[in-house]
Chain A
Amino acid sequence: NAGVTQTPKFQVLKTGQSMTLQCAQDMNHEYMSWYRQDPGMGLRLIHYSVGAGITDQGEVPNGYNVSRSTTEDFPLRLLSAAPSQTSVYFCASSLEGGGSYNEQFFGPGTRLTVL
């Protein structure tokens, strides 16, 4: 199993550009989530999904869109990039919802810089 994969590993954008961060998992997990990691702030939840076709907002959803058309894939779209979105982005998945006792499996991250 590849686990959770993310592409790209690194990305530089200019303010106002849009892009999609890709996330895929091959563990048949129902729950998937996107976090951003900023120094001194831990991981903050952007969006999550409890199954194909079902998504919801986390703590910091503004400026980001998600969709979940398949169990495997959960892309994160930046609509119009801003310097405040410079961060490291992690995708994670688990068997059940984020409020369960199941651990989350994390991808290797995407380091995004917005100029």
Chain B
Amino acid sequence: AQSVTQLGSHVSVSEGALVLLRCNYSSSVPPYLFWYVQYPNQGLQLLLKYTSAATLVKGINGFEAEFKKSETSFHLTKPSAHMSDAAEYFCAVSETGGFKTIFGAGTRLFVKA
């Protein structure tokens, strides 16, 4: 069965600092992996996705994530945080041929001025 673990329910960084949000997954088949962002009182929107074409995936707003099969990880990074990055971030996994996407518990990112 597939599952997703996001380490840290809250992460706080200073503006301009590196953002690192951690995600580990389990899947019995090659997975598709996603990062979604949720701004206050809104639905989720896609940041980036891994579909096996390349292990380093670039998304919107300067975010990127690297798929590491040996570590079963898909951590999200951004070199320099901006105040507008404050939001909740969800890692998600789906399996080839399946019909379900499983979401992690989410990590709320705070950005300090």
Q: Is the CB of B43 within 8 A of A40?
A: no
Residues of B25-43 at the interface with A, using a CB-CB cut-off of 8 Å, are 32, 34, 36, 41-43
Residues facing B in A70-106 (CB within 8 A) are 90, 92, 97-101, 103-104, 106
Given B97, B105, B106, which contacts A99 in the complex, CB threshold below 8 Å? B97
| A107 to B38 CA separation, bound complex (whole angstroms) | 11
**Beta-carbon contact of B99 and A98 below 8 Å:** yes
Q: Determine the chain A residues whose CB is within 8 A of the CB of B32 once the complex forms.
A: 99-101
State the interface size on chain B (CB cutoff 8 A): 28
Distance in angstroms between the alpha carbons of A33 and B94 in the assembled complex: 14
| Interface-facing stretch out of B13-21, B44-52, B62-70, B79-87 | B44-52
User: What 7 new A-B contacts, CB under 8 Å, besides A42-B106, A97-B99?
Assistant: A98-B98, A98-B101, A101-B49, A103-B49, A104-B44, A106-B43, A108-B42
Interface set of B (CB-CB < 8 Å, partner A): 4, 6, 9, 32, 34, 36, 41-46, 49, 51, 90, 94-106
A selection of 14 A-B contacts at a CB cut-off of 8 Å is: A40-B105, A40-B106, A43-B90, A45-B102, A48-B100, A50-B99, A97-B99, A99-B96, A99-B97, A100-B32, A100-B94, A108-B42, A109-B41, A109-B42
